[in-house]
């Protein structure tokens, strides 16, 4: 995520539309994430006959990973998360072909597909308050509306499919 401590000189102008994901530097890569938390939700993913993710069949639940703080929408131990959740996915440019389950607004998916960033993205507004307000208006973000997977049965999980996250 773009933060106050991100050195802005490390971000090349309009990098999201001028370079591919594999050409981005570390800070550019991190700045693409809007912090929505959607990728930390449990989802059901189907593959087509070629083994590729069928976006039309992806279903998100409002059930979040055990490390998610569902109030704030942030991972409680992001820097050390692999110790707790070894299968937490580290997005890379190489993995993107298999990441099409990401939500349609996710900047990594959009840049990969050659699409524009959402209008509300912080890289465009350069104003965190405006971005937050517009993300809320666009119904994006899991803070305050997810539940933890801890203690949840598979049967209950299946009843928690939501329609506010879509690939
Ligand atoms: S869905 Fe994309 S933009 Fe949202 S938190 Fe995950 S990686 Fe970041
Ligand atoms: S470990 Fe953290 S970043 Fe990874 S899925 Fe869980 S909450 Fe998200």
**What mean pLDDT, rounded, does the chain reach?**
94
Confidence at residue 53, expressed as pLDDT on a 0 to 100 scale: 86
Distance between Cα 153 and ligand 1 center (Å): 26
Ligand nearest the Cα of residue 80 is 2
**Domain assignment present for 166:** no
> CB-side exposure of 119: number of CA atoms within 13 Å?
5
**Helix, strand, or coil (residue 68):** strand
**Domain assignment present for 164:** no
Range of the domain at 91: 8-158
Sign of CA dihedral 133, 20, 37, 13: negative
The total number of structural domains in the chain stands at 1
pLDDT tens across 61-80, in order? 999 999 999 999 999 999 99
**Domain assignment present for 107:** yes
Confidence at residue 165, expressed as pLDDT on a 0 to 100 scale: 97
How far is Cα 33 from Cα 123, in angstroms, rounded to an integer?
Answer: 10
**Domain assignment present for 61:** yes
- The number of the ligand 1 atom at minimal distance from the alpha carbon of 107 is 3
**Domain assignment present for 165:** no
Worst-scoring range by mean pLDDT, 37-46, 47-56, 94-103? 47-56
How far is Cα 48 from Cα 7, in angstroms, rounded to an integer?
Answer: 42
**Domain assignment present for 1:** no
**Domain assignment present for 47:** yes
Contacts of residue 137, Cβ cutoff 8 Å, sequence gap at least 6 = none
């Amino acid at each position: 995520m773009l933060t106050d401590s991100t050195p802005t000189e490390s971000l090349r102008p309009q990098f999201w539309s001028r370079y591919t994901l594999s050409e981005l530097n570390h800070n550019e890569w991190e700045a693409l994430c809007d912090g929505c938390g959607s990728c930390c939700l449990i989802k059901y993913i189907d593959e087509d006959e070629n083994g590729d993710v069928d976006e039309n069949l992806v279903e998100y639940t409002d059930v979040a990973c055990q490390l998610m703080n569902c109030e704030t929408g942030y991972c409680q131990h992001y820097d050390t998360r692999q110790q707790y959740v070894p299968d937490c996915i580290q997005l890379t440019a190489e993995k993107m072909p298999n990441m099409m389950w990401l939500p349609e607004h996710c900047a990594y998916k959009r840049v990969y597909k050659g699409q524009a960033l959402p209008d509300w993205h912080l890289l465009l507004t350069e104003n965190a308050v405006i971005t937050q307000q517009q993300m809320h208006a666009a119904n994006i973000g899991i803070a305050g509306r997810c539940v933890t997977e801890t203690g949840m049965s598979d049967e209950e999980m299946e009843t928690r499919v939501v329609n506010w996250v879509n690939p």
